Amino acid sequence: MSESGPGRQLRIGIVCPYSFDAPGGVQFHVRDLAKALTDEGHYASVLAPAEDDTELPAHVESAGGAFAVRYNGSVARLAFGPRAAMRVRRWLREGNFDILHLHEPATPSLSMLALWIAQGPITATFHTSLARSRALEVASPWVRPALEKIDARIAVSEDARRTLIDHLGGDAIVIPNGVFVDDFRTAKPNPAWSGTPTRPTVAFLGRLDEPRKGLPVLTEAIGSVVEQIPGVRFLIAGRGDEGEKAARAALGPLTDHVEFLGGVSDSEKASLLRSVDAYVAPQTGGESFGIVLVEAMSAQTLVVASDLPAFERVLDEGSAGVLFPNGDSQALARTLVRWLREPGERAARAALGARFAQRFDWSQVAGQILNVYETVLVGAAALGAVKEDPAARVGLVRRRGDLRGAQPEGENG
């Protein structure tokens, strides 16, 4: 552990198990957490799998390439083995961190390796939501002893917390994913993506070849929407050649109402969400939070989402957006038609969503995570695990009043 005093800021090591070659929700959470902590004056370093030629965000260091594994209805790129362990050891040694923050430590990748290797204060965040996992059931007996090294556990949602309790034991405090709300609120709309009263636009964003992201549910609904709103346009963003090919085949002539945008950058995503009349999230399962819903809400765009428990909580049980029965394409079509035809009501509901999204801003979420660090460090100092005066640590972590708010409403701890 590093020596520090009242003027010293925290050195935080963050480990991401999933590769930045094909980033998703966990990678974006880790990236933005590092930025939020840095913005608050702390030092944050992220270790994650990535190929040598991958362009990495600030604060992220590569631990080498990864291999693909099917997991939770998706394909995860993980890093394991002696070479990965060697890089974890070197990063830990050179980082001299005050606290280590592991993400998904039960996943066989860098976070698990770091948990086995590291000594000192450890916090972990659990992201996954699974009703049943054969892999976790098999792994649980030998993963649980390692998890005992964790001083504080965080779950990004009640669904992720329940998965932790059911499959791995122990409990966690719920701290939601964060969003830089202003990045979406102030994004510049793209006229090519903006709708009109007779030609409204609807956006979808997700991996096109993952069935659980719900693209087939949306494509099946498009025909009914077009029948009633002939000028409607659907903007579909995301990678997945096979998924796009299947969607085009299912749409047939309706493809004239659909534009496939491919992968989009962060700025393009913000502009897309700020431009359209509605964002649709037809996911069918495996979602523990729904960060893109909060991004769309922050952009002051109406969110229409399947009624997954995680989405219900993010949308304040439907008062900050609109819910439809999971997997019901005709219900989705009816919902879209109803809200696209009522611009005044749509704007009012979107405004409610934008206000609700403020509680997920990183200025709030980072403060809650820093509170967890504080608790861990004070406890470690009391046990003699760190050399610093815990009173000095508390002074480092207790930031401005806006960083010490209670857990956001709508999330259970």
* Residue 133 or residue 46, greater confidence: 46
Look up the CATH number of domain 11-178+361-403. 3.40.50.2000
Share the mean pLDDT of the chain.
Answer: 89
Stated length of the chain = 413
Residue 159 has a CB neighbour count (10 Å cut-off) of 24
CB 118 within 8 A of CB 96: no
Nearest to 211 by CA among 203, 221, 219, 222: 219
Average the pLDDT over each of 116-130, 313-327, 343-357, 383-397 and give the range with the smallest value. 383-397
Query: Kindly report the CA angle at 349 between 343 and 352, in degrees rounded to 5?
Result: 145
Question: What is the pLDDT averaged over residues 11-32?
Answer: 94
Helix (H, G, I), strand (E, B) or coil at 213: helix
Determine the topology of domain 181-359 in CATH. Answer: Rossmann fold (3.40.50)
Say what the pLDDT of residue 129 is. 83
pTM (2 d.p.): 0.85
CATH 3.40.50.2000 in the chain, residue ranges: 11-178+361-403, 181-359
Nearest to 372 by CA among 412, 326, 331, 413: 413
Say what the pLDDT of residue 68 is. 84
Average the pLDDT over each of 128-137, 194-203, 218-227, 292-301 and give the range with the smallest value. 128-137
Encoding tokens for residue 205? 């964003």
Average the pLDDT over each of 30-44, 64-78, 105-119 and give the range with the smallest value. 64-78
Nearest to 100 by CA among 226, 12, 201, 223: 12
